[in-house]
Chains A and B, each alone.
Chain A
Amino acid sequence: MDISTKVTWNPYSRGYFQDPYPHLKTCRENNPVHQGIHEAWMFFKHSDISKLLRHPNLGVSGLSEYLKEKEPYIFKNTETCPYLAQSTQWWPMYLNGNLHKKIRVALGKVFQALEWEPVILKAVERVNARYQSLNKFNLANYCADYIFMITSEIFGIDQYGTTAKIKEYSNLLARSQDLFVSKQFYQQINTSLLWGKQLFDRSAYREKIEAALKEQQLDYTSDHIYSLMTISLMATFETSKDNLCMALYEIIKRKHIIHLISESTPQQLNILIEELFRFTSPLQYTVREVQSPLNYNGISLPTQSKLYLCLASANRDPEVFDRPDEIIPDRQPNPHLSFGGGLHFCLGANVARLELRHCLQPMVQLLKDYTFDDHGESNVQWAKQIFMRNAQSILLKRNAL
């Protein structure tokens, strides 16, 4: 094929934010490894991505270093105190080597020791009690409220600030990692980061983190701790609510799955939950950087080349998944990459699983009485986010009796 006719990855191609999958499919079929509109290397096939996630020549790219380099530009002619690089400096998904290992162990231990289950069970009850009397509501808010109830209790933050402000704060943290972020938007993120410094002052979670860091013999300042608090909040809140919302949206469209969930055994439910993670892929991309020169399938990649691994595309690759664009409730095996892979495999995967395990049945029990509000399912408002896909608004109304 003539190279000039090949598709180039561009998230601003028509309709991408509503539904990225047609574009990803074209990329995967037509040009599975190429340099995208932003010149970084893009990978779309499951076989490449699962290999690259574990490739010894690759590391993650430094977000904090990037922001440090950009701060003089972002804050030129402003009085603002730059805080972007400092507050992202210990985000584990952007760290390599020994520091990454120690922080991962510390965070992992704290996550594991937390009492998630009672908090989750209470949140399911509370959120359903709040929504069951409503004739109309936004599915995205319903999901965000559920995950927020868990997040705020775990981190001990619900007594500070308003819920709406903390949700916005978390969303801004998520978007600090996206592509095509303007300086105006970074300034807004910075303001929010400065505001959030008081959020964790009296959080018991903070004390647990400090104890875990001491155990790892890591020296830290209050900015390092803040960095870990921000990433814990963002990681726990964002992708979980996005996954749940997109999953429920797909379920409402498929009445037979509602029925199936109500009748499922715990084991069948677990298999379906993995399929939902595959289907929604809330974190659609992850980035790797070449640390020592690499020749990959004939492409020579010098040090510092950036590789964008499209997890969302890998999860729809027909070479691995039969009928990839369908939800197959009993799909097994299901080697999806929604939680990444290798050294940076999601630390919260089991928490995300637990959240779904406990909420799906009670939630479909409530949602079975609702349909999309008059403008229909095509009128969903999708966020203009490339990395973390999510819907901002999916309006539901109660079925007429």
Chain B
Amino acid sequence: MIDIKKWLVEKVAEETGLNTEQISCDEDFNNFDMDSLSIVSIAADLESATNEEVDPTAFVEYNTINKFATWISQQK
């Protein structure tokens, strides 16, 4: 099992070019300086990492790292 929150922080850092310390887990994904394809690409990576299907549109409703990680853990 991967730590989804830590994993997401690293991914968002990678996509934005920021350090992991600069990534707030309560920030709306829309407020990060990411490409419009970033979220779909993160969702695809998460699918490979977890071997579970990930709905890329869930990032709209669960729009912060904290909300998304909580939601994913409740799916189990």
Do A12 and B57 touch (CB < 8 A)?
yes
Partner pick for A182 among B37, B55, B57, B58, CB 8 A cutoff: B37
Tell me the minimal C-beta distance from B15 to chain A in angstroms.
9
Partner pick for A70 among B35, B43, B57, B60, CB 8 A cutoff: B35
Collect the chain B residues with CB atoms within 8 Å of residue A180's CB: 40, 56-57
Within A30-73, the residues touching B (CB, 8 Å) are 37-38, 70, 73
Within B48-68, the residues touching A (CB, 8 Å) are 55-58, 60
Partner pick for B56 among A12, A70, A74, A183, CB 8 A cutoff: A12
Within A339-379, the residues touching B (CB, 8 Å) are none
Bound CA–CA A10/B57 (angstroms): 8
Do A37 and B37 touch (CB < 8 A)?
no
Tell me if A204 is interfacial: C-beta within 8 Å of chain B: no
Within A179-215, the residues touching B (CB, 8 Å) are 180-186
Interface 1/0 per residue, A142-182 and B, CB below 8 Å? 00000000000000000000000000000000000000111
Tell me if B41 is interfacial: C-beta within 8 Å of chain A: yes
Do B45 and A74 touch (CB < 8 A)?
no
Tell me the minimal C-beta distance from A11 to chain B in angstroms.
8
Collect the chain B residues with CB atoms within 8 Å of residue A12's CB: 55-58
Tell me the minimal C-beta distance from A384 to chain B in angstroms.
8
Collect the chain A residues with CB atoms within 8 Å of residue B35's CB: 70, 73
Do B44 and A184 touch (CB < 8 A)?
yes
Residue on B with the closest CB to A38? Answer: B57
A182/B41 contact (C-beta < 8 A), A70-B35, A73-B35 known: yes
Residue on A with the closest CB to B44? Answer: A182
Bound CA–CA A203/B73 (angstroms): 53
Collect the chain B residues with CB atoms within 8 Å of residue A186's CB: 37
Bound CA–CA A180/B41 (angstroms): 9
A73/B37 contact (C-beta < 8 A), A182-B44, A184-B44, A184-B45 known: yes
Collect the chain A residues with CB atoms within 8 Å of residue B37's CB: 70, 73-74, 181-183, 186
Do B60 and A37 touch (CB < 8 A)?
yes
Tell me the minimal C-beta distance from A185 to chain B in angstroms.
7
Interface 1/0 per residue, A239-257 and B, CB below 8 Å? 0000000000000000000
Bound CA–CA A186/B44 (angstroms): 12
Residue on B with the closest CB to A77? Answer: B14
Do A37 and B57 touch (CB < 8 A)?
yes
Collect the chain B residues with CB atoms within 8 Å of residue A182's CB: 37, 40-41, 43-45, 56
Tell me the minimal C-beta distance from A224 to chain B in angstroms.
26
Tell me the minimal C-beta distance from A5 to chain B in angstroms.
16
Bound CA–CA A10/B56 (angstroms): 11
Bound CA–CA A73/B37 (angstroms): 8
Bound CA–CA A38/B40 (angstroms): 12
Bound CA–CA A89/B61 (angstroms): 35
Do B41 and A183 touch (CB < 8 A)?
yes
Residue on B with the closest CB to A12? Answer: B55
Collect the chain B residues with CB atoms within 8 Å of residue A181's CB: 37, 40
24 contacts between A and B (CB under 8 A): A12-B56, A12-B57, A12-B58, A37-B60, A38-B57, A70-B37, A73-B35, A73-B37, A74-B37, A180-B56, A181-B40, A182-B37, A182-B40, A182-B41, A182-B43, A182-B44, A182-B45, A183-B37, A183-B41, A183-B44, A184-B41, A184-B44, A185-B44, A186-B37
- Which 10 A-B residue pairings sit nearest by Cβ, starting from the closest? A182-B44, A12-B55, A182-B41, A183-B41, A73-B35, A12-B57, A182-B40, A37-B57, A180-B56, A180-B40
Q: Told that A12-B58, A73-B35, A182-B37 touch, could you supply 14 new A-B pairs with CB distance under 8 A?
A: A10-B57, A11-B57, A12-B55, A70-B35, A73-B37, A180-B40, A180-B56, A181-B37, A182-B41, A182-B43, A183-B40, A183-B41, A184-B41, A184-B44
